[in-house]
Amino acid sequence: MPTEADLAGFYAAGYSEAHGQLQQQQANRGHYRTHLRALARACGRRVPESRLLDFGSSYPILVEEAIAAGMQAVAVDDSVQVHQWSAASGIPCLKSAQIGDIPNQSIDILRLSHVLEHLVDPKPTLAVLLEKVKVGGLVYISQPNFPVFRAQACDIDLKDSVWPTHLHFFSAASLVRLANLSGLTIFGFDTHPLPSLAEQERLVAAVDPDCARLLGCFKGTRTRSFGRSGFPWYLGENSECWARKTGPRQTSDVDTRAHGAKLVFGRSGRIAISVGNFKSRIAWLMRTRSQ
């Protein structure tokens, strides 16, 4: 495993250029406009009222679109090229070491798109970022999804299983486990896109017999199916997790089962979370019905 310094140097040097990130981000402008509206709805706020942090932004086209729509938004990325482009474009962009400059509980929406799998240790990084998010705030995570539910050999060539660019390989179950341990309440989770029929057969064969037990952590979580195919919704190529930051965890009252830790809130915290979850579920239902 590389050190944090090794990783920072790797991404600062030329990762964004080598992977054509500017062209990819520019091509996604239209999607980002729609995506920002979906994030604001799920957060229960209008777009101009929302404060967004896009961690691991690459070229911050999404942040540029957010600012144009009236959001207060900031990008975080360690690439030298990204910072040069951001400075020339007038887009606020911090390095990961500058996260402390953001006031605690000031962010409405934390976005991590294809980021966690690149980190040496995702859990403490997520913990630091969550300090910046308001209680009841939205956390959006997307990343490659792997149909591997425990450590074992797999004879399938899984897409995006590239080392050392990707240091961690999350399944639906392990991503939800990380979210639960981080004090998040998930209200929506899906994977996409639908694989080919041949790939479906290979993926289903790779699923462990005990995956049904592990997927019990999705009880109460809204998910979409792939429709008439009958193919399991949790085996798509990429995960999309919608969650809300909950209150502080009481360390003496921990349940280590699939549903994660028990959480204790004050009255105002419970009301804020209940209202936020209600708004989020309505927004999620509207979004899923429109797709």
Note the pLDDT tens digit of each residue in 77-106. 988 899 999 999 999 999 999 999 999 999
Mean pLDDT over each residue of the chain, to the nearest integer:
76
**pLDDT tens digits along 13-65:** 666 555 677 888 999 999 999 999 999 999 988 888 899 999 999 999 999 99
**pLDDT tens digits along 164-223:** 677 677 777 788 888 989 999 988 888 877 677 777 776 666 665 555 555 556 655 655
Look at residue 226 in the predicted model and tell me its pLDDT: 40
Highest mean pLDDT among 127-141, 208-222, 234-248: 127-141
Overall size of the chain counted in residues: 291
Look at residue 40 in the predicted model and tell me its pLDDT: 93
Look at residue 182 in the predicted model and tell me its pLDDT: 92
pTM: predicted TM-score of the whole model, two decimal places? 0.74
Q: What is the mean pLDDT of residues 260-277?
A: 44
Look at residue 110 in the predicted model and tell me its pLDDT: 98
Q: What confidence tier does 264 reach under pLDDT thresholds 50, 70, 90?
A: very low
Look at residue 20 in the predicted model and tell me its pLDDT: 74
Q: Which of 124-128, 135-139, 226-230, 262-266 shows the lowest per-residue confidence on average (mean pLDDT)?
A: 262-266
> What DSSP assignment string belongs to the chain?
---HHHHHHHHHHTHHHHTTHHHHHHHTHHHHHHHHHHHHHHHTS-GGG-EEEEET-SS-HHHHHHHHTT-EEEEE---HHHHHHHHHHT--EE-GGGGGGSPTT-EEEEEEES-GGGSS-HHHHHHHHHTTEEEEEEEEEEEE-----SS----S--TT--TTT------HHHHHHHHHHTTEEEEEEEEESPPPHHHHHHHHHHS-TTHHHHGGGGTT-B----GGG---GGGSSEEEEEEEE-----TTS---STT-------HHHHHHHHHHHHHHHHHHHHHHHT-
Look at residue 34 in the predicted model and tell me its pLDDT: 94
CA 217, 192, 124, 62 torsion-angle sign: negative
Is it the case that residue 73 has pLDDT exceeding 90?
yes
Look at residue 177 in the predicted model and tell me its pLDDT: 83
Look at residue 244 in the predicted model and tell me its pLDDT: 94
Is it the case that residue 137 has pLDDT exceeding 80?
yes
Is it the case that residue 271 has pLDDT exceeding 60?
no
Highest mean pLDDT among 46-50, 94-98, 277-281, 282-286: 94-98
Look at residue 255 in the predicted model and tell me its pLDDT: 29
Q: What is the mean pLDDT of residues 224-237?
A: 55
Look at residue 65 in the predicted model and tell me its pLDDT: 97
Higher pLDDT, 238 or 72: 72
Q: What is the mean pLDDT of residues 98-127?
A: 92
Look at residue 129 in the predicted model and tell me its pLDDT: 96
